[in-house]
Amino acid sequence: MATSVPQQSDIVIVGGGPAGLALASALSSQPAIRDTLRVVLVEASDLSKVRNWNDGPSTFSNRVSSITNASQAFLQEIGVWAHVDEGRTCPIEEMQVWDGVSDARITFSTQDDHASFLPDASPQSQMARLTENLNLQRALLRHLDSNRTVELVDNVKVQSIVREEREGGGWPLVHLSDGRVLRARLLVGADGFNSPVRAYAGIESYGWAYNTTAIVATLFHKPRTSFQAQNTIAYQRFLPTGPIAFLPLSPTASSLVWSTKPHLAKALLSSDPAVLTSMINAAFRLPEVSLRYLHQQILDSVSNGALISSQQLREEISWRGRSHHIDPRSAYSLTADTEGVPPEDADALPPVVTSIQPGSAAFFPLRFSHADDYIGDGAGARTVLVGDAAHTIHPLAGQGLNMGLGDVESLFNCIHKAVTNGGDIGSRTALLPYARERYFENHKIMSACDKLHKLYSSTSEPVVWARSVGVEVLNELDSVKAAIMLNAGSRSSRTPPSGRQIGANFAADAVESIARSVAGVSTLTTGVAGLVGEGLQRVLQTVANSQRR
Amino acid sequence: MTPLRGACNAARRSLVYRRATSASRHFASLHAGPANQSSVNPDEIAHFSKLSQAWWDERGEFGLLHKMNPVRIQFIRQKMLEMRREDGLDDVNMARPLDDMDVLDVGCGGGLLCESLARLGGRTLGIDASASNIAIASLHASADPGLTSTRKGNHTLTYEHTSVEDLLAQRGPKSFDVVCSMEVIEHVDNPAAFLTNCATLVKPGGHLFLSTIARTPLSYALTILAAEHILRLVTPGTHTHSKYINPDELTDFFLRLDSDPASQSAVADPPEVRRPWISRLYGSVPARTEAEMRGIIYLPWKGEWMLVPRGAAGASAWAEACNYLFWVRRPFE
**Is residue A181 pLDDT above 60, yes or no?**
yes
Could you tell me if A240 and A330 lie in one domain? yes
Could you tell me if A407 and A296 lie in one domain? no
**Is residue A321 pLDDT above 90, yes or no?**
no
Residue A535: which of B58, B136, B300 has the nearest Cβ?
Answer: B300
Q: Is residue A436 part of a domain?
A: yes
Q: Is A460 exposed, middle or buried (0-12, 13-18, 19+ CB in 10 A)?
A: exposed
Q: What is the ipTM of this complex?
A: 0.81
pLDDT confidence of residue A339: 63
Number of H helices, E strands in chain B: 11, 10
Q: Which H or E run includes A237?
A: strand A233-239
State the Cα–Cα distance between residues A432 and A426, nearest whole angstrom: 10
Find, in chain B, the residue whose alpha carbon is nearest to that of A543. Answer: B231
pLDDT confidence of residue A458: 61
Edge to edge, the sheet with strand B176-182 lists B157-161, B123-128, B102-106, B176-182, B202-213, B323-329, B291-299, B304-307
Q: What is the CATH number of the domain that holds B196?
A: 3.40.50.150
State the Cα–Cα distance between residues A445 and A487, nearest whole angstrom: 8
Could you tell me if A25 and A138 lie in one domain? yes
Could you tell me if A191 and A306 lie in one domain? no
The average pLDDT across A326-330 equals 79
Q: Is residue B31 part of a domain?
A: no
The average pLDDT across A383-398 equals 84
Residue A334 CA from chain centroid, whole number: 32
Confidence of residue A461 (pLDDT cuts 50, 70, 90): low
Q: B87-145: per-residue pLDDT in tens?
A: 888 777 788 899 889 999 999 999 999 999 999 989 999 999 888 889 889 989 988 88
The average pLDDT across A486-503 equals 41
pLDDT confidence of residue A216: 93
Q: Does B59 contact A421 at a Cβ distance shorter than 8 Å?
A: no
Cβ-based neighbours of B30, under 8 Å, separated by 6 or more: B191, B192, B249, B252, B253
Q: Is residue B33 part of a domain?
A: no
Q: Give which of A121, A178, A185, A252 is closest to B147, Cα–Cα.
A: A185
Q: Is residue A497 part of a domain?
A: no
Residue A29, helix vs strand vs coil: helix
| Mean residue pLDDT across chain B | 78
Answer yes or no: is B72 a known binding residue: yes
The average pLDDT across A108-133 equals 64
Confidence of residue A4 (pLDDT cuts 50, 70, 90): confident
State the Cα–Cα distance between residues A96 and A484, nearest whole angstrom: 13
Q: Is residue B295 part of a domain?
A: yes
**Among A72-86, A326-340, B207-221, B317-331, whose mean pLDDT is lowest?**
A326-340
End residue of a domain, out of A413, A435, A456: A456
Q: Is residue A324 part of a domain?
A: yes
Q: Is residue B269 part of a domain?
A: yes
> How close A535 gets to chain B, by Cα (Å)?
5
Answer yes or no: is B102 a known binding residue: no
Q: Are B18 and B190 in contact (CB under 8 A)?
A: no
Q: Is residue A120 part of a domain?
A: no
Q: What is the CATH number of the domain that holds A251?
A: 3.30.9.10
Could you tell me if A258 and A229 lie in one domain? yes
pLDDT confidence of residue B232: 60
Task: Give the β-pairing of B157-161 and B123-128.
Answer: parallel
Could you tell me if A277 and A356 lie in one domain? yes
pLDDT confidence of residue A378: 86
Residue type, A111: Q
Find, in chain B, the residue whose alpha carbon is nearest to that of A167. Answer: B139
For chain B, what is the domain count?
1
Q: At what angle do helices A428-457 and B63-86 cross, to 10 degrees?
A: 120
Residue A168: which of B139, B146, B306 has the nearest Cβ?
Answer: B139
Q: Is residue A494 part of a domain?
A: no
Q: Is residue B222 part of a domain?
A: yes
Could you tell me if A433 and A322 lie in one domain? no
Q: Give which of B164, B146, B162 is closest to B154, Cα–Cα.
A: B146
Provide φ and ψ at A473, rounded to 5°: -55, -50
State the Cα–Cα distance between residues A418 and A412, nearest whole angstrom: 10
Cβ-Cβ contacts under 8 Å, A424 against chain B: 115, 119, 144
The average pLDDT across A267-275 equals 91
Q: Are A47 and A58 in contact (CB under 8 A)?
A: no
pLDDT confidence of residue B151: 46
Q: Is residue B28 part of a domain?
A: no
Mutate to test the interface with A, among B136, B301, B310 (most CBs of A within 10 A): B301
**Among A46-60, A295-309, B230-244, whose mean pLDDT is lowest?**
B230-244
- A483-509 burial, b at 16+ Cβ within 10 Å, e below that, comes to bbbebbbbbbeeeeeeeeeebeebeee
Could you tell me if A148 and A78 lie in one domain? yes
Q: Give which of A407, A390, A396 is closest to A484, Cα–Cα.
A: A396
Q: Is residue B34 part of a domain?
A: no
pLDDT confidence of residue B161: 94
Scanning B87-125, the segments in alpha helix (DSSP H) are: 112-119
Q: Give which of B238, B222, B280, B198 is closest to B14, Cα–Cα.
A: B238
Residue A533: which of B144, B300, B311 has the nearest Cβ?
Answer: B300
Q: A128-180: per-residue pLDDT in tens?
A: 899 999 999 999 999 999 988 999 999 999 999 999 988 777 899 999 999 99
**Is residue B181 pLDDT above 80, yes or no?**
yes
Count other Cβ atoms within 10 Å, centred on residue B320: 19
Q: Is residue A441 part of a domain?
A: yes
> How close A168 gets to chain B, by Cα (Å)?
7
Could you tell me if A73 and A160 lie in one domain? yes
Q: Does B303 contact A185 at a Cβ distance shorter than 8 Å?
A: no
For chain A, what is the domain count?
2
> How close A162 gets to chain B, by Cα (Å)?
16
Structural domain for A307, as ranges: 209-364
Task: Give the β-pairing of A150-153 and A39-42.
Answer: parallel
Cβ-based neighbours of B331, under 8 Å, separated by 6 or more: B204, B205, B259, B275, B277
The average pLDDT across B272-299 equals 85
State the Cα–Cα distance between residues A493 and B323, nearest whole angstrom: 34
Q: What is the CATH number of the domain that holds A415?
A: 3.50.50.60
**Is residue B301 pLDDT above 80, yes or no?**
no
Q: pLDDT exceeding 90 applies to what percent of chain A?
A: 46
A369 or B217: which leads in pLDDT = A369
The average pLDDT across A28-35 equals 91
| Mean residue pLDDT across chain A | 80
Could you tell me if A138 and A285 lie in one domain? no
Residue pairs spanning A and B at CB distance below 8 A: 109
Q: Is residue B23 part of a domain?
A: no
> How close B224 gets to chain A, by Cα (Å)?
16
Residue type, B322: C
**Is residue A340 pLDDT above 80, yes or no?**
no
Residue A91, helix vs strand vs coil: strand
Per-residue DSSP letter, B125: E
Q: A204-242: per-residue pLDDT in tens?
A: 998 888 888 999 999 999 988 777 778 899 998 888 888
Which residues share a beta bridge with A95? Answer: A108, A234
Could you tell me if A184 and A291 lie in one domain? no
Q: Is residue A122 part of a domain?
A: no
> How close B145 gets to chain A, by Cα (Å)?
8
Per-residue DSSP letter, A455: H
pLDDT confidence of residue B167: 96
Q: Are A318 and A334 in contact (CB under 8 A)?
A: yes
Q: Which H or E run includes B8?
A: helix B2-12
State the Cα–Cα distance between residues A465 and A459, nearest whole angstrom: 10
State the Cα–Cα distance between residues B197 and B86, nearest whole angstrom: 27
**Among A64-68, A110-114, B128-132, whose mean pLDDT is lowest?**
A110-114
Answer yes or no: is B182 a known binding residue: yes
Q: Are A503 and B309 in contact (CB under 8 A)?
A: yes
Q: Does B304 contact A535 at a Cβ distance shorter than 8 Å?
A: no
Structural domain for B8, as ranges: 2-17+40-329
Q: Kindly list the distances between the CA atom of residue B309 and the CA atoms of A262, A413, A513, B74, B75, in Å, as whole numbers in the listed order.
A: 57, 20, 18, 11, 10
Count of alpha carbons within 13 Å of A261, Cβ hemisphere only? 13
Confidence of residue A305 (pLDDT cuts 50, 70, 90): confident
**DSSP codes of every residue in A483-532:** IIIIITTSS---PPPPTTHHHHHHHHHHHHHHHHHHHHHHH-SSSSGGGS
Q: B49-94: per-residue pLDDT in tens?
A: 566 678 888 887 778 889 999 999 999 999 999 999 888 887 777 8
**Is residue A380 pLDDT above 80, yes or no?**
yes
Q: B161-179: per-residue pLDDT in tens?
A: 999 999 999 999 999 999 9
Residue B321 CA from chain centroid, whole number: 18
Q: Is residue A412 part of a domain?
A: yes
Q: B203-221: per-residue pLDDT in tens?
A: 999 999 999 888 777 777 7
A473 or B331: which leads in pLDDT = B331
End residue of a domain, out of A364, A392, A416: A364
Could you tell me if A356 and A431 lie in one domain? no
End residue of a domain, out of A364, A399, A432: A364
